[in-house]
Amino acid sequence: MAPVIRNDPDLSAHWMPFTANRQFKAAPRLLSSATGVFYRTVDGRDVLDGSAGLWCVNAGHGRSEISDAVARQLVELDYAPSFQMGHPKAFDFATRVAKLAPNGFNHVFFTNSGSESVDTALKIALGYHRARGEGQRTRLIGRERGYHGVGFGGTSVGGMVNNRRAYGALLPGVDHLPHTHNLAANAFSRGQPAVGAELADALSDLVALHGADTIAAVIVEPVAGSTGVLVPPLGYLQALRTICDKHGILLIFDEVITGFGRLGQPFATQYFGVLPDMIVTAKGITNGTVPMGAVIARDAVHDAFMKGSENIIEMFHGYTYSGHPVACAAGIATLDIYEREKLLTRASTLADVWADALHSLRDLPHVIDIRNIGLMGAIELASRPDAPGSRGYQAMVEAFNQGLYFRTSADVIALSPPLTVTAEHIDRIVAVLRVVLANLK
Ligand SMILES: Cc1ncc(COP(=O)(O)O)c(C=O)c1O
């Protein structure tokens, strides 16, 4: 029997996240189903998914391999306690995830989201230093325009003012590097911009200010996603690594967006050739189907905890749903698809087509920058002086009405389609954008 899809739910009870609730509920955008790279709306329109949901549906929608694995798992073992108890799939999945990471990243701590992965990595960093007799290293460094989720740790190291201002003092002892976005020097760069490696030197300034032996870790997104696809300048990530090494500071890459093939390698660390000490992941780990995240730790980080008496819990941290059997089943089925369809490297074969398509929009009204890397891209629009963000929002609504979904960050259109996208889909994305931007006031 075909499922009954309700297209007129009562909208009042659901307090929606990161949404203008009253505006949305006055003119809702409701999705009812999805296949491949298309959503279908409750009124039966196909909408191309230009942002892989929220940067997570890397293998496209409606993958029966995943739903079959989830259904089987629910019958076989619906839940298993994750403390002092285990089930084989959590170990199998950890091994599979570690195999995708660079050599020497052999340990995986499971969480249920990007936010939890970030907070887990920050706690691992503090615990690591303590285990090595450097417990005074408690300072955490993030970056302006960074997004690391919504836990108190991630909010503290994050650099988006609207996400922070309502929540008081947040974590103590946090500082921020400057962001790397420089339109004057780098507008319309293809791939990594030329100018800005020297911005990493701000970390040396923070070391001078606070003392190297007080700093536990630096966390950055290799490519900042949620603040509008900020691509790291050439040499910047290498410079951060060098300064961290010099001062014994851990480097954490938040790869919640860039992980699982977004740049044409399993992780951005491999794309940029810069090794962090921990890789933070979520989203694409299960193709967005079942909430899950993971922190992949370098051996030295993990091994620092594994000492002392064997009956002692090495890290007092974990979640009821860490390594949930259903999430692991979804994750294993997802990695099978990525492997079989070579999706983790597919972005590299499409990157030039993608770049050409996006940059063809350069001469449209209000466009002040276009940037791209792998299968990520952004079109930055000039803000209306009296209403920043309103032009981006209007572009999003118009595009949705014309069959294209994408995320916006203020006046930046952020694009990251499923890795299964074809050149024809890319043409369609650009065709809709061309019409929308040409008519935008
Ligand atoms: C880089 C980064 N870190 C962390 C998060 C938080 O992930 P979640 O929403 O799963 O908690 C996100 C979400 O977009 C992200 O982009």
pLDDT at position 152 is 98
| CA of residue 58 to ligand 1 center, whole Å | 15
Specify whether 363 is located in the same domain as 294. no
Would the pLDDT of 1 be above 60? no
Nearest Cα to Cα of residue 141 among 216, 58, 78: 216
User: Quick check: is 6 in a domain?
Assistant: no
| CA of residue 115 to ligand 1 center, whole Å | 6
User: Quick check: is 5 in a domain?
Assistant: no
* Percent of the chain residues topping a pLDDT of 90: 98
| CA of residue 288 to ligand 1 center, whole Å | 12
- pLDDT-based confidence at 8, cuts 50/70/90? confident
Q: pLDDT digit string (tens) for 209-260?
A: 999 999 999 999 999 999 999 999 999 999 999 999 999 999 999 999 999 9
Specify whether 395 is located in the same domain as 270. no
Cβ within 8 Å of residue 229, ≥6 positions away: 223, 371, 372, 373, 376, 377, 378, 412, 414, 415, 416
**What is the domain-level CATH number for residue 382?**
3.90.1150.10
Please tell me the total number of residues recorded for the chain in this structure.
441
Q: What is the mean pLDDT of residues 124-130?
A: 98
Residue 13, judged by CB atoms within 10 A of its CB (0-12, 13-18, 19+), counts as: exposed
Q: Are strands 412-415 and 407-409 parallel, antiparallel or unpaired?
A: antiparallel
Specify whether 232 is located in the same domain as 105. yes
Would the pLDDT of 437 be above 60? yes
Q: Of 283, 307, 341, which residue constitutes the final position of a domain? A: 341
Would the pLDDT of 408 be above 70? yes
Nearest CA, atom 3, ligand 1:
148
Residue 304, judged by CB atoms within 10 A of its CB (0-12, 13-18, 19+), counts as: middle
Q: Is 118 in the pocket of ligand 1 (CB under 6 A)?
A: yes
pLDDT at position 196 is 98
**What is the domain-level CATH number for residue 243?**
3.40.640.10
DSSP of 248-316 = T-EEEEE-TTTTTTTTSSSSHHHHHT---SEEEE-GGGGTTSS--EEEEE-HHHHHHHS-S-TTS-S--
Would the pLDDT of 6 be above 70? no
Q: pLDDT digit string (tens) for 255-275?
A: 999 999 999 999 999 999 999
Specify whether 350 is located in the same domain as 310. no
Q: Which residue of 55, 112, 156, 226 sits with most ligand 1 atoms within 8 Å of its CB, as the best mutation to test the pocket?
A: 226
User: Quick check: is 9 in a domain?
Assistant: no
Q: What is the mean pLDDT of residues 147-151?
A: 98
Structure tokens that stand for 387 in this block: 């209403």
Q: pLDDT digit string (tens) for 73-101?
A: 999 999 999 999 999 999 999 999 999 99
- pLDDT-based confidence at 4, cuts 50/70/90? low
| CA of residue 247 to ligand 1 center, whole Å | 28
User: Quick check: is 15 in a domain?
Assistant: no
Q: Is 251 in the pocket of ligand 1 (CB under 6 A)?
A: no
Q: Is 225 in the pocket of ligand 1 (CB under 6 A)?
A: yes
Q: Is 255 in the pocket of ligand 1 (CB under 6 A)?
A: no
Specify whether 221 is located in the same domain as 77. yes
Specify whether 377 is located in the same domain as 425. yes
Specify whether 167 is located in the same domain as 188. yes
Nearest CA, atom 13, ligand 1:
149
Q: Is 226 in the pocket of ligand 1 (CB under 6 A)?
A: yes
Residue 40, judged by CB atoms within 10 A of its CB (0-12, 13-18, 19+), counts as: middle
Q: pLDDT digit string (tens) for 274-333?
A: 999 999 999 999 999 999 999 999 999 999 999 999 999 999 999 999 999 999 999 999
Domain count, the chain: 2
Specify whether 86 is located in the same domain as 34. no
Q: Of 314, 341, 368, which residue constitutes the final position of a domain? A: 341
Q: Of 341, 358, 388, which residue constitutes the final position of a domain? A: 341
| CA of residue 438 to ligand 1 center, whole Å | 32
Specify whether 96 is located in the same domain as 53. no
Q: What is the mean pLDDT of residues 179-191?
A: 98
User: Quick check: is 408 in a domain?
Assistant: yes
User: Quick check: is 360 in a domain?
Assistant: yes
Domain of residue 98, residue span: 67-341
Q: Is 38 in the pocket of ligand 1 (CB under 6 A)?
A: no
User: Quick check: is 1 in a domain?
Assistant: no
Would the pLDDT of 2 be above 60? no
Q: Residues 151, 133: contact at Cβ < 8 Å? A: no
403: left (phi over 0), alpha (psi -120 to 50) or beta: left
**What are the two backbone dihedrals, phi and then psi, of residue 109, each rounded to the nearest 5 degrees?**
-105, 120
- If one compares 7 and 298, the residue with the highest pLDDT of the two is 298
Q: Is 60 in the pocket of ligand 1 (CB under 6 A)?
A: no
Atom of ligand 1 nearest to the CA of 113: 10
Specify whether 160 is located in the same domain as 40. no
Q: Is 257 in the pocket of ligand 1 (CB under 6 A)?
A: yes
User: Quick check: is 386 in a domain?
Assistant: yes
Q: Is 52 in the pocket of ligand 1 (CB under 6 A)?
A: no
Specify whether 255 is located in the same domain as 139. yes
Q: Which residue of 51, 152, 257, 267 sits with most ligand 1 atoms within 8 Å of its CB, as the best mutation to test the pocket?
A: 257
Distances 45 to 31, 34, 422 between C-alpha atoms, Å? 9, 11, 20
| CA of residue 147 to ligand 1 center, whole Å | 7
Structure tokens that stand for 307 in this block: 């000492």
Q: What is the mean pLDDT of the chain?
A: 97
Q: Is 149 in the pocket of ligand 1 (CB under 6 A)?
A: yes
- pLDDT-based confidence at 7, cuts 50/70/90? confident
Q: Is 115 in the pocket of ligand 1 (CB under 6 A)?
A: yes
| CA of residue 114 to ligand 1 center, whole Å | 4
Specify whether 37 is located in the same domain as 75. no
Q: Is 416 in the pocket of ligand 1 (CB under 6 A)?
A: no
pLDDT at position 317 is 98
